[in-house]
Chains A and B, each alone.
Chain A
Amino acid sequence: MPRPTAVEQQLRARARELLEKREVAGVLGFRAGTLPGTCVPFLATEPGDADRLVLNRDCAANLAAWLPRLRHRGRIAVVARGPDSRSIVNLVKENQVERDRLHIIGVADPDDTQPVRNPVVFDEFLGERAPDSPPDDYADIREFEALPPAERWQALLDELSRCIRCYACRQVCPNCYCPTCFVDASRPAWVGRTPDPSDNVLFHMVRAIHMAGRCVECGACAKACPIGIPLMIINRKVSLIVRDRFGSVPGTDPDAPLPLTAFDSEDREEFIR
């Protein structure tokens, strides 16, 4: 077991304190996994659990996804990096979690590839702020967009054909909390149960559209995919459209309405004014 980092030490001390004083029913964070490079989402509920908390760049999950499921447990403290906090902002706006039932422990994301590493909202901040990343130029998306349409389509088809429809991408996503996912509907059945290219593409494209204005690009879906489908090429394309058309970067402004549910009398589209 490697020595705890400075921020891990602070986190453990605070978690113990919060649990000892019974200010929260649990502290949601990560513990070390059994294999190298793995972290397991973990709810510390006793002061003695606090020393199991870890925080490193292998912590792949977006912890906000656990919050709706933990609502019945009472007040929860959650370790929130940039992406977790952005998802919390969204979940509060979408009435999936109550802000005043959360105690948000903000930390900088150890993953330096994240476009927003520092938390957007928090009740307390531990450790040091990460340097702000340069504005995202979406170079990967621009490069992909530059390919001829036939090649883009073939590339997407090749990738999505490999999907085994385990729905790990959906299950780890904080945005996917629908009681019944459209793929699970049976009357009518919108999507076939066979993992064939047409149904796979339908699943991923409908999911992508549902992510518009909501995806915080945490990358949890792509990391969860056992087949290694580069899902972020789809999600980031959607994010780029939302940024260009709505000037919105999801989850970065707790006070701004969700772009796709807001009405603006100055909207540039005539049909909606």
Chain B
Amino acid sequence: MKPRIIPGKELNGFIKGLMERAELYAPKERDTSPFPANPASDENPPALDAAEHSAGTPPVNGNREVSQFFRDTTEFRHITDPAQVNLDHLNTKLPLKELFLPRREVMFTFDTDTPERVEPVEAVAAERIVLGARPCDAAALEMFDRVFLDEATPDPYYRARREKTTIIGLACNEPGPACFCTAVGGSPHGSAALDLLLVDSGDRYLARPMTAKGEALVAHLPEATAPDIEKAAGLEQEARAAMKFTSDTAALQEKLKAGFDHKAWDEIALPCVNCGVCTYVCPTCHCFDVTDEESHGRGARIRTWDSCQFSLFTRHASGHNPRPTGRDRLRNRMMHKFRYFPAVHGTVLCVGCGRCIVECPSGIDLRETLTTLQEELE
């Protein structure tokens, strides 16, 4: 497939073309104005649609200086005007996963008085285009595919959304201080799970199609020249070189097998408060809970995000909890990402986006944790 060029830095025409084809989702500033001067409006009804219900933030968390790298107010949202698209960001506050695994999914509704009245919710999804996915966020979808598109038990809701979505990536030329995709098998110009990758090359975008769906979006554009492709390769090398952290994840997987009860976990877990931040901002964490909600005779079985850091996560009906302490739960998260998932699927469950590092209220750095484990475990 031939790489193309979007001349100039003006993407408006391109974006308009995308909007004519399908629903467009892209990083967008938060809608509501800052607290408290916030006039009452109907713009934000309490809708439960997942994509419309995600969140952005003003830069007020503990990591003041870092927030410049993470444009806190952006999130993937439905675009109704090309001017809403904001590609001037590194990573959105919340990852792309919400568009595929919403925080709340109704699977069926029921009538509590007449149990036979169960109405399944059909898995239907609109044709969508995502613009501006970072290669790390997109790579996480390949990991989701292994779980939710498993041949024996594919998830119909996930599959419908995945099949109906065309993903246009945006390569990273300037990784942030928490980025480490190269240490976990990714690349700042990586193409995993993408249909098309855009590379900002100064005065133009290089558009590199990976699939027929991606190619169809750029077929009308001029072909890229050899210098265009060379320049992009140089940008990728520079971006890769900017990320210094490395970790031998294969060796770590072996060490973790023997290191379940190592005392290193105590020290690693001390600052952890077992909130769900790292799991909810993680593009690869995908654990969910299933509960029933009912009111006035009508009920719904819903699937919501869950977090292995919560004490409820593995608590049995008997009250017994195989992971009773915070240390056990933090260890489980690391084990899932760097031991169990690789053992089953052949790849670590981490794409190195760095959100957990930036957002951790205790300032825990996953890279530091990996280094400690490499050093202390045998």
- Which A residues from 195 to 226 make CB contacts under 8 A with B? 195-198, 220, 222-226
Q: Is A38 a contact partner of B280 (Cβ separation < 8 A)?
A: no
**A33: contacting residue among B277, B281, B365, CB under 8 A:** B365
Q: Is the CB of B35 within 8 A of A155?
A: yes
Interface of B is mostly: loop
Q: Do A40 and B271 touch (CB < 8 A)?
A: yes
**Bound: A225/B93 CA distance, A:** 12
- Given A35-B178, A193-B302, the answer on whether A42 and B271 have CB atoms closer than 8 Å is yes
Interface size on A, residues (CB 8 A): 60
Cα–Cα distance between A61 and B53 once the two chains are bound (Å): 29
> Does A144 make an interface contact (CB < 8 A)?
yes
Is B222's beta carbon under 8 Å from chain A? no
Contacts A223-B361, A226-B281 given; does A171 touch B58 at CB 8 Å? no
Contact A193 B365 (CB under 8 A): no
Is A158 in the interface zone, CB < 8 Å from B? yes
Q: Which residues of A contact B304 (CB under 8 A)?
A: 193-195
Contact with B along A182-195 (1 / 0, CB 8 A): 00101001001111
Residues of B contacting A260 in the complex (Cβ-Cβ under 8 angstroms): none
Select which of A193, A220, A223 is within 8 A of B291 by beta carbon. A193
Q: How far is the CB of B60 from chain A (nearest CB, A)?
A: 5
Q: Is the CB of B270 within 8 A of A41?
A: yes
Q: Which residue of A lies closest to B32 (CB)?
A: A158
C-alpha gap A65/B271 in the complex (Å): 11
Stretch binding the partner chain, chosen from B131-139, B151-159, B305-313, B339-347 = B305-313
For the complex, is A137 an interface residue (Cβ under 8 Å from B)?
no
Per a CB cutoff under 8 Å, which of B46, B64, B279 touches A37? B64
Q: Does B114 make an interface contact (CB < 8 A)? A: no
Chain B residues near A165: list those with CB within 8 A: 276
Proximity string of chain A (140-183) to chain B, C-beta cutoff 8 Å, 1 when within and 0 when not: 00011001001110110111011111111011100000000000
Q: State the B residues within 8 Å of A (CB).
A: 32, 35-36, 38-41, 44, 46, 48, 53, 55-66, 72, 93-94, 103-104, 177-178, 270-271, 273-277, 279-281, 289, 291, 293, 302, 304-305, 307, 310-312, 326, 357-359, 361-365, 367-368
Chain A contacts to B: CB under 8 angstroms: 33-43, 58, 60-61, 65-66, 69, 143-144, 147, 150-152, 154-155, 157-159, 161-168, 170-172, 184, 186, 189, 192-198, 220, 222-230, 233
Sample 7 A-B pairs with CB under 8 A, ordered by A number: A34-B365, A34-B368, A58-B64, A66-B270, A69-B326, A166-B277, A166-B280
